[in-house]
């Protein structure tokens, strides 16, 4: 084989090697992209979880003195229509009349029971108590019951979305 032929053969090998490297690189890029997309899809919340992300409830369904418990993101939410003889707390009162709090004790996570005669929530686990505003008044709970993010649309409360009233509450 002449030198020229050897050179030509060598160039041919190099260009074939380059092509294979480019092809492998392209396949690797596609593979990594697909793997990242698959991971993203895994992290995306399931449709039923998304459906639970916001919950709408008509506050006008709750009569004065009545407590309704609804479920939001797997947690109970207490909606209490307060009466005049219940603790006043404008800074924690929704639409001027309602206490809306997550029904999970801020001590160790038990579900407090509403005691209508005393107008308090009593936690069965360690005796913690919260007034009608959801503020801790006795026992081990370190802070009031949490207020879920909410938005008002007339008498409809939308849990899971932050409206101006909620933002004002948490900033105060």
Q: By the criterion CB under 6 A, which residues form the site for ligand FES?
A: 105, 107-108, 110, 123, 125-126, 128, 139-141
User: In the complex with ligand FES, which residue's Cβ is closer, 31 or 109?
Assistant: 109
User: In the complex with ligand FES, which residue's Cβ is closer, 132 or 157?
Assistant: 132
User: In the complex with ligand FES, which residue's Cβ is closer, 89 or 137?
Assistant: 137
Smallest gap from residue 116 Cβ to ligand FES (A): 19
Smallest gap from residue 151 Cβ to ligand FES (A): 29
Smallest gap from residue 106 Cβ to ligand FES (A): 8
Smallest gap from residue 136 Cβ to ligand FES (A): 9
**DSSP-based helix, strand, coil % in the chain, nearest 5:** 35, 25, 40
Distance separating alpha carbons of residues 133 and 123, to the nearest angstrom:
15
**52 in Cβ contact with 148 (< 8 Å):** no
Q: In this structure, what are the phi and psi dihedrals at residue 146, rounded to the nearest 5 degrees?
A: -75, 145
Give residue for tokens 């006008």: 60
**126 in Cβ contact with 140 (< 8 Å):** yes
Distance separating alpha carbons of residues 147 and 60, to the nearest angstrom:
19
User: In the complex with ligand FES, which residue's Cβ is closer, 95 or 110?
Assistant: 110
Smallest gap from residue 47 Cβ to ligand FES (A): 33
User: In the complex with ligand FES, which residue's Cβ is closer, 93 or 131?
Assistant: 131
Query: What is the CB neighbour count within 10 angstroms for residue 128?
Result: 22
Distance separating alpha carbons of residues 73 and 51, to the nearest angstrom:
9
**111 in Cβ contact with 105 (< 8 Å):** yes
């Amino acid at each position: 084989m002449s030198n020229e032929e050897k050179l030509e053969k060598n160039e041919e090998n190099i260009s074939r090697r380059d092509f294979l490297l480019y092809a492998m690189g392209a396949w690797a890029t596609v593979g990594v992209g697909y793997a990242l997309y698959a991971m993203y899809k895994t992290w995306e919340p399931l449709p039923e979880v998304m459906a639970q992300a916001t919950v709408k409830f008509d506050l006008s369904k709750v009569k004065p003195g009545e407590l309704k418990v609804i479920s939001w993101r797997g947690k109970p939410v207490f909606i209490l229509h307060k009466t005049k003889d219940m603790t006043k707390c404008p800074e924690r009162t929704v639409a001027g009349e309602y206490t809306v709090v997550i029904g999970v004790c801020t001590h160790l996570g038990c579900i407090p029971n509403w005691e209508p005669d005393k107008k308090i929530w009593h936690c069965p686990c360690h005796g913690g108590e919260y007034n009608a505003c959801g503020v801790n008044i006795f026992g081990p709970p370190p802070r009031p019951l949490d207020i879920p993010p909410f938005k008002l649309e007339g008498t409809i409360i939308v849990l899971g979305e932050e409206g101006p009233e909620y933002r004002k509450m948490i900033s105060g």
